[in-house]
Amino acid sequence: MTKNLLKFLVLALCISCNTENKNAEKPVEIDQATLAKHIERLASDAFLGRKPFTEGEVKTVNYLKDEFEKLGLSPGNGDSYFQEVPLVEIDGSPSEKMVISGKDGSFDLKVLSDFVATTSQVETEIGLDRSELVFAGYGIVAPEYGWNDYEGIDWKGKTAVVLVNDPGFQSGDSTLFKGNAMTYYGRWTYKYEEAARQGADGLIIIHDTEPASYGWNVVESGWSGAKLIIESDLPLLKVESWVNQESAQKIFDASIMKGEDYKVLARSKGFEPIPLGLDVSVSIQNKIKKDVSKNVIALIPGTEKKDEVIIYSAHWDHLGVGKPIDGDSIYNGAIDNASGTAGLLAIAEAFKKNGPTKRSVAFIAVTAEEQGLLGSAYYAENPVFDPKKTVANINMDALGSPGKMKDLTITGYGQSEMDQYAEEAARKQGRYIIPDPHAEKGYFFRSDHFNFAKIGIPALYASGSYEAFDQSRESIKATLDDYNTHKYHQPSDEYDPETTELSGVSFDLQLFFEVGRKLANETYFPKWYEGSEFKAARE
């Protein structure tokens, strides 16, 4: 009798557990109407392209604050929804020409069509005056790979000329750096930082569409006009520049390297920098403005472990008002990144509808991502929530899944146990996981999760991008290629209620919600895998 009663109690308990698990795992639908409403509003002309330090910023951050308040979220930064981010705006006007001179004469490159030039030094006038040009390969110093492109040269007064990406790209050698997958050494931000550390006056990056993963039009729009920086005591270049492929070839043809394949030389182990027998002159006139931008932070406090936090992030900013294209000068940024910002609000709404969690859940809309991940970089240096007790980051940037997707493509796959959380959630949706098939483009270093990772917080950055449930792979590829070619960082990235497909975006957001909900109701902290460059920061 006692044994039967015990069996009954165990059976009842199991049934109860299964029922609770079923309820807990019941998928939550993300409201597409909520998503559409916020994307349409944030990407409207009224928000002027959401550039920091403009009327567009004021409208954007106040809109987000008001919407978080309406949902019943608490201020995330003490009693404020804002974290102030002090920035400097440098509105630079480069000279019309960059002059390249040598013993056989000189030639000019034209601003925008041939080169762009900016500075991060807070000076009203700055430039290069007959600065010696030296080819520095990929501009990389990486002791762990036995690589130093700057070795043996006193760089004072000189300007380095370097390639974009890193030596592993299309090398056919998986042991060279990380093979075709870009490392941080391949990012333009690193290249400017390293050249400054070496004591150079300037750096010219040679643009190449395939290894850069974007066309010259993106360089032209992104590196002209006003730019924002975080003021720093770190060494800075006088001039940060890009030239296009044709202009680079002109430079090499006029140099002592004429006839040599500079790309092959740069990939050679043991490469040493090569003085080109040329110099460069260019000047920049700057208007300086110091001001404060804002990260927007909202919080749903946990019921048991309030100090342990899951962070959802997205950048609210875009490029503002810029060069007119087909008569339109407002860079609305509907996909990039009104979509992710709207996703923050939609997921916050889902959390509020589905009850409290044991851990706290924070929503951070960061500023100045388009200026070099500045809002998240400032947060990483001045965290509101203790990084050691920040469980994970789920970042949303340019959510453009063109329909419900079978795949979930994880950028940075293999870095942390966040892969396992995503895989479990994807399986419940009938989906499968794939690593980013374009790791050579360095997307892991190109959005705000990177700054959370740098301080040791495991991050998930993913979306459906390859195979749909009801469309061909060719159709999906064509849609994504069209966006990258014709809309990315262009005024044409607009919201059209008649043609914008949000079922795939809401499907992805549902997965992000489920991952966050699981993390918010357990005690485990996801770990970085062995071999991840971010593991040491966590430990």
**pLDDT tens per residue, range 66-92:** 999 999 999 999 999 999 999 999 999
**pLDDT tens per residue, range 344-402:** 999 999 999 998 999 999 999 999 999 889 999 999 999 999 999 999 999 999 999 99
CA distance 125 to 156: 19
* Percentage above 70 pLDDT, the chain: 95
Q: Are 186 and 160 spatial neighbours (Cβ–Cβ below 8 Å)?
A: no
User: What is the model's pLDDT at position 25?
Assistant: 55
CA distance 13 to 6: 10
Query: Around Cβ 229, how many Cβ atoms within 10 Å?
Result: 19
User: What is the model's pLDDT at position 26?
Assistant: 67
Q: What is the pTM of this model?
A: 0.83
- On the question of a cis peptide bond just before residue 4, with omega within 30 degrees of 0, the verdict is no
If you average pLDDT over residues 257-270, what whole number do you get?
Answer: 95
Phi, psi of 502 (to 5 degrees): -115, 0
CA distance 412 to 405: 19
Q: What is the mean pLDDT of the chain?
A: 93
User: What is the model's pLDDT at position 120?
Assistant: 95
Choice among 215-219, 338-342, 530-534 with the minimum mean pLDDT: 530-534
The band of 11, judged by pLDDT with boundaries at 50, 70 and 90, is very low
The band of 338, judged by pLDDT with boundaries at 50, 70 and 90, is very high
Nearest to 332 by CA among 48, 126, 525, 34: 48
Burial of 323 (0-12, 13-18, 19+ CB in 10 A): middle
Residue 533 confidence (pLDDT) above 90: no
Which residues, in sequence order, are bridge partners of residue 97?
110
The band of 15, judged by pLDDT with boundaries at 50, 70 and 90, is very low
Query: Around Cβ 303, how many Cβ atoms within 10 Å?
Result: 13
CA distance 406 to 427: 10
| Residue labelled with tokens 């419940």 | 428
| Residue labelled with tokens 């979220």 | 73
Q: Are 520 and 359 spatial neighbours (Cβ–Cβ below 8 Å)?
A: yes
CA distance 380 to 449: 10
Residue 21 confidence (pLDDT) above 50: no
Token pair of 310, please?
Answer: 């899951």
Angle 308-309-313 from CA coordinates, rounded to 5°: 165
If you average pLDDT over residues 7-32, what whole number do you get?
Answer: 51
The band of 18, judged by pLDDT with boundaries at 50, 70 and 90, is very low
CA distance 60 to 443: 26
CA distance 223 to 114: 12
If you average pLDDT over residues 265-285, what whole number do you get?
Answer: 97
The number of CA neighbours under 13 Å toward the Cβ of 487 is 17
User: What is the model's pLDDT at position 101?
Assistant: 98
**pLDDT tens per residue, range 148-167:** 999 999 999 999 999 999 99
Going by their DSSP bridges, the two strands 274-300 and 97-102 should be labelled as: antiparallel
Residue 231 confidence (pLDDT) above 70: yes
| Residue labelled with tokens 């040269």 | 153
Nearest to 53 by CA among 368, 337, 493: 368
Please report the DSSP string for 177-246 in residue order: TTTTS--GGGSHHHHHHHHHHTT-SEEEEE--HHHHTS-HHHHHHHTSEEEEE---SS---SEEEEE-HH
**pLDDT tens per residue, range 30-61:** 999 999 999 999 999 999 999 999 999 999 99
365, 371, 373, 378: CA torsion to nearest 10: -80
Token pair of 3, please?
Answer: 């044994």
The band of 8, judged by pLDDT with boundaries at 50, 70 and 90, is very low
